[in-house]
Amino acid sequence: MLPPPGNITTVSTSQQSPEKPAQKPWWADAVVYQVYPRSFADSDGDGIGDIPGITAHLDHLSDLGVDVVWLSPVYRSPQDDNGYDISDYRDVDPTFGTLADLDELIAALHARGMKLLMDLVVNHTSDEHPWFVESRSSTDNPKRDWYVWRDARDGEPPNNWGSFFSGPAWTRDPDSGQYYLHLFSRTQPDLNWENPRVRAAVHEMMRWWLDRGVDGFRMDVVNMLSKVPGLPDGEVAPGARFGDGSPYFQHGPRLHELLQEMHTQVFAGRPQAVLSVGEMPGVSTAEAVLLTDPARAEVDMVFQFEHVNLDRGATKWDVRPLSLPALKASLGRWQDALARVGWNSLYWDNHDQPRAVSRYGDDSPAHRVASAKALATVLHLHRGTPYVYQGEELGMANMPFDRIDDYRDLESLNYFAEATEQGADPGAVLATLAVASRDHARTPMQWSAGPQAGFTTGTPWIAVNPDHTEVNVEAQRAEPTSVLHHYRALITLRHTEPAVVDGLFTLLLPEHEQVYAFTRTTPTTTLTVAANLSSTPAHVELDLSGELLLSNSETAPGPGVLRPWEAVVVRVVNA
């Protein structure tokens, strides 16, 4: 076990273990930890993380105090999109181990009181999935209608949609001359959710996993299942090659119906309490209220993208500076919208996002630790369920990639190829990838200062960040003021202070350019959270008197000023 948190990052032990109202779902005060299996821990020296590697490192997760592990896909897959292209939903890819290894992981998690949230990718399959192999075999194959096939339009694709991973969203099958839809890569054909047989097959597979002991699903791009009939052309932005089909494939006309059906067929009446999380690019607050209203029985919470798009323009490659007032307004609006009905997911990082400490913090030696802690404090004190992405609890930073050959992600590689083919300067494209590539999140977990950060005894599939000699689990376990101990303290605080779970959120100082501040109030308690999210001192008029529950600084804040990246949580108990 870790030693108790040091006296710098502290959690007051008064008022612990309150009785929770019976009607609250089990996940209301939970913290989720995301494991990207390829990059977590390699047990067999092939350079790729695997399931036995995860099982061998569960002490790290239970010491951190997390309640749920979200496992990115380990299903059988050609690994074109690192497992988000599934060729067998009921088997484990040999890269990651066996079904028996997964059963062992589930049992080991349950033995430690943790739950397993499986990733579920059912908007599309791999093009090597037997369903698609059959579907493409002929126009009259019974599985033809399991995918979205259309005739060419004047010798061109059926509509003008672009795919998320560059190029058109359609690929022509030379045998039939028809095109199939793929919102992502050409190896990820979209399933046809209009077909009841597709739905029944997916539901049956989901029940099979729940029967096997998994505790729920994080459902990949699940708001894209229902497409507007006719698949109309999207609007073409100035300078763009393709139309934006998102109004026609996100939140389509049957989305709520499909999710309700899934709930009835899969989640309702289970012996175990299950969790369903919908990943939903482009979801609005109004949609999220409907989607997460328990009375409607759709999903328990959604991943929304508004806050991670604020420093991007029309595409994710159009990198812009972030305005702190805009970030606060966005997250604050989500807090308000889901205050009475529904529930928020809270995240800075995941396997698709660059590292938060590099993006929203300051990863220079002077500020990396404090800024990682400040960002964590702000996020974890919001109302909702916080998600910690592997390595975030160490303050892992973006990777100093400098050549295109360093990258592995098909999204980054496709973008580089497409942009340079169209005449962009390769140096400029590399500079964009250095900020926005998904590979920053995917470098190996840093366990120690040793060779390959203790991730593998072999050659890792993607390079280890050279900062692992400083930033690693072993060093941070031994250092009470580390980022790791701060995360642990935040998770303890959520488990022990009811106002963190239930308190009403009120944003303070919305226009302040440096300070993120808010209160969380219950009838008995007011928590005030204040963080300077900048590398210079911030002058601020805030009453921070009360019991200092948590701070990332050695001394209490001075009057009227927060030091660079200083973050505090103060509690006042109402008389």
Identify the three-state secondary structure at position 336.
helix
Choose between 77 and 371: whose C-beta lies nearer to ligand ISL: 77
Choose between 85 and 362: whose C-beta lies nearer to ligand ISL: 85
Q: Residues 357 to 416: which contact ligand ISL by CB under 6 A? A: 411
Q: 561 Cβ partners below 8 Å, 6+ apart?
A: 537, 538, 539, 540
Tell me the sheet residues that pair with 505.
520
> Cα 561–567–573 angle (5° rounding)?
95
| Sign of the alpha-carbon dihedral angle for 476, 481, 484, 488 | positive
d(CA 279, CA 368): 29
Q: 57 Cβ partners below 8 Å, 6+ apart?
A: 40, 41, 447
Choose between 101 and 352: whose C-beta lies nearer to ligand ISL: 352
Choose between 346 and 473: whose C-beta lies nearer to ligand ISL: 346
* Residues counted in the chain: 575
Choose between 125 and 534: whose C-beta lies nearer to ligand ISL: 125
Q: How far is CA 209 from CA 128, 172, 302, 408, in A?
A: 21, 34, 21, 30
Helical pair 368-380 and 483-496, crossing angle rounded to 10 deg: 10
Smallest distance, Å, CB 258 to ligand ISL?
17
Choose between 40 and 184: whose C-beta lies nearer to ligand ISL: 184
> Residue ranges of the alpha helices (H) in 33-143?
51-55, 58-64, 99-111, 130-137
Q: For 393-422, what is the HEC assignment?
A: HHCCCCCCCCCHHHCCCHHHHHHHHHHHHC
- In the block, tokens 């009375």 appear at 295
Spacing of C-alpha 459 from chain mean position: 27
Could you say whether residue 347 binds ligand ISL (CB under 6 A)? no
Q: Cα-atom radius of gyration of the chain, to the nearest Å?
A: 24
Smallest distance, Å, CB 164 to ligand ISL?
5
Choose between 84 and 401: whose C-beta lies nearer to ligand ISL: 84
Strands of 547-551's sheet, edge to edge?
504-508, 515-521, 525-532, 567-573, 547-551
Choose between 121 and 429: whose C-beta lies nearer to ligand ISL: 121
Choose between 215 and 220: whose C-beta lies nearer to ligand ISL: 220
Catalytic site residue 279? Answer: yes
Smallest distance, Å, CB 128 to ligand ISL?
15
Contact with ligand ISL (CB under 6 A): which of 69, 121, 255, 529?
121
Smallest distance, Å, CB 87 to ligand ISL?
14
Smallest distance, Å, CB 419 to ligand ISL?
14
Beta carbons of 198 and 254 less than 8 angstroms apart: no
Active-site position among 279, 300, 311, 393 = 279
Read off the tokens for 114. 């943790």
Could you say whether residue 311 binds ligand ISL (CB under 6 A)? no
Smallest distance, Å, CB 252 to ligand ISL?
16
Choose between 129 and 468: whose C-beta lies nearer to ligand ISL: 129
Smallest distance, Å, CB 162 to ligand ISL?
12
Contact with ligand ISL (CB under 6 A): which of 27, 36, 84, 334?
84
| Residues 270-289, mask of contacts with ligand ISL (x by CB under 6 A) | -----------x--------
Identify the three-state secondary structure at position 178.
coil
Contact with ligand ISL (CB under 6 A): which of 164, 179, 242, 447?
164
Could you say whether residue 51 binds ligand ISL (CB under 6 A)? no
Contact with ligand ISL (CB under 6 A): which of 93, 101, 352, 362?
352
Could you say whether residue 184 binds ligand ISL (CB under 6 A)? yes
Smallest distance, Å, CB 73 to ligand ISL?
9
Tell me the residue type at 362: D
Tell me the residue type at 394: L
Active-site position among 29, 85, 220, 287 = 220
| Residues 423-452, mask of contacts with ligand ISL (x by CB under 6 A) | ---------------x--------------
| Count of residues touching ligand ISL (by CB under 6 A) | 13
Could you say whether residue 502 binds ligand ISL (CB under 6 A)? no
| Residues 221-260, mask of contacts with ligand ISL (x by CB under 6 A) | x---------------------------------------
Beta carbons of 354 and 326 less than 8 angstroms apart: no
Could you say whether residue 81 binds ligand ISL (CB under 6 A)? yes
- Cβ–Cβ contacts within 10 Å for residue 556, how many? 12
Identify the three-state secondary structure at position 492.
helix
Smallest distance, Å, CB 124 to ligand ISL?
7
Beta carbons of 171 and 177 less than 8 angstroms apart: no
Q: Which residues of 49-84 are buried (b: 16+ CB within 10 A; e: fewer)?
A: bbbbbbbebbebbbebbbbbbbbbbbbbbebbbbbb
Q: 65 Cβ partners below 8 Å, 6+ apart?
A: 31, 488, 491, 492, 495
Smallest distance, Å, CB 372 to ligand ISL?
22
Phi, psi for residue 115 in degrees, rounded to 5: -115, 160
Q: Residues 504 to 563: which contact ligand ISL by CB under 6 A? A: none
Could you say whether residue 316 binds ligand ISL (CB under 6 A)? yes
Q: Residues 189 to 228: which contact ligand ISL by CB under 6 A? A: 220-221
Q: Which residues bind ligand ISL (CB under 6 A)?
A: 81, 84, 121, 164, 184, 220-221, 281, 316, 351-352, 411, 438
Residue numbers annotated as active site: 220, 279
